[in-house]
Amino acid sequence: MDNFSLVIIGITSNLAQIKLIPTLYDLIAAHSLPSTFQIIGVGRTMMDQSAFRAFVSLTLRTPNRHHTHPINPGIEQELFSHLTYLSADLTDLSSYAKLKSILATHKTQNHMFYLATFPSLYGSIFANLKTTGLADEKGGWTRLLVEKPIGSDQDSAKQLNNLFTQYFREDQIFRLDHYLGKETLQNILTFRFGNGILEPLMDAAHIAQIQVTASEDFGIGNRGNYYDQNGAIKDVGQNHLLQMIALTTMDAPLVMDNLSITRERVKVLENLVPDPTSLVIGQYVGYQNEKDIAQGSKTETYFSFKANLNNDRFRGVPIYVRGGKHLSRTATEVAILFKNSPNVLIYRIQPNEGIVLKIKTKKPGYTLELEDSYMQFCYPHNLDLPDAYEKLIIDALRGDQTYFNDANEVDAQWAFTDQLISATHNVIPTLYPQGSWGPQDTIDWLEPSTAFCTI
């Protein structure tokens, strides 16, 4: 891997604390980075290098469901050796002159800028990077890493994508949806196109329906400001769940490269049609009492809807989608139910990651009694799978955009989602008790099983 400087703009943000700083620790622990590299954390908070290290140390030791293992002081010190902090006003050109001076001390021309800050600041950031020459490629590469969501609707997403391309080429822009970095999600393509057994059955002649679930048994935590302005549909429906549908139903790419895989994902998204009349939204009891939630908020914490894929292969197959907070169980999966058959193919993204086929078998005994069994591929529980952020940061450093969104993909996602968001206007979400499966609807949902990939 090339030597590089990673500039994280917004190093004290919630995203950086929950995801980025733990990810950098894990990448160092796994020896996944070159021996010499530089990480510059940029933030508004005034603090010296000692205070910054104390902040990072506290972040690593703060309870975090995404990062649960003990902290090794040796690895922590190795991380510290690569870190520099810059207190900056992102609208002030002089801050970028200071950043340029810091970058000049490290002998690499490869620069990646990770934006973990508000989109309203992007224009100032890009203009100042350009003015100071930091956006230029001189003897190396310059890349931009941007976290989802890109915009809040199709129009704002177009504006942001136009802003990106004013300063960067498309091959420099890495729009990150961390779900595309999940091991099982990426394995769907290998399972489908690397094996010839089930792929011929993936069409309307054989499939009765597809169910996509992203349920969580916890609430919004400390994300009240963000969540109350966006809701569950924008939080996971606009991105994660649509990617799950795309990888499950896309045609085989001509070659397994970025352009071919992305092209097939976009085809699915452009032909995916929501049924806004089927939309059900809910809000868990107690949401109004969460931190930073507006009084009388109508923000949904649960949704379900029906969609159809308007192409020859899947036309007529209903695709049912649901997601929500404080539900009965945490489970993210795609379940493919076959016609005239008890068989179900399940891509379990989390937890108990794996790919399983539900079948009927004879129950041991003296009588012919059937029971559900599973043919399963499971990741061993003692195997420490790379976190999605780890994989995607490595991909970005290598210049591989396969599991990142391009502008057309983002546009297609919002074109689909905007139709659902419009259907929520002036609708009061149905209250549902914490620990339930959300409001009642007319869909016969499969309950995510705990019977497989448990060892």
Residue 66 has what pLDDT? 77
> Would you name the residues annotated as active-site residues?
240
How many other C-beta atoms lie within 10 A of the C-beta of residue 387?
20
Q: What order of strands is seen across the sheet that includes strand 354-362?
A: 370-378, 354-362, 344-350, 331-338, 207-215, 318-324, 302-309, 272-284, 430-432
Residue 277 has what pLDDT? 94
Domains along the sequence of the chain with CATH: 5-147 (3.40.50.720), 180-388+406-432 (3.30.360.10)
Residue 455 has what pLDDT? 55
Helix, strand, or coil here: 147? strand
pLDDT tens digits for range 150-173: 999 999 999 999 999 999 999 999
Helix, strand, or coil here: 353? coil
Query: b/e map of 120-137 (b: 16 or more CB within 10 Å)?
Result: eebeebbbbbeebebbee
pLDDT tens digits for range 382-398: 677 788 999 999 999 99
Q: Which residue is it, tokens 């799978």? A: 385
Low-confidence ranges of the chain (pLDDT < 70): 382, 455
| 238: its two tokens | 């606009």
pTM score of the predicted model? 0.92
Residue 196 has what pLDDT? 85
Cα–Cα distances in Å, from 251 out to 184, 247, 314, 320, 401? 18, 9, 11, 20, 19
Measured between alpha carbons, how far is 68 from 94 in angstroms, rounded to an integer? 39
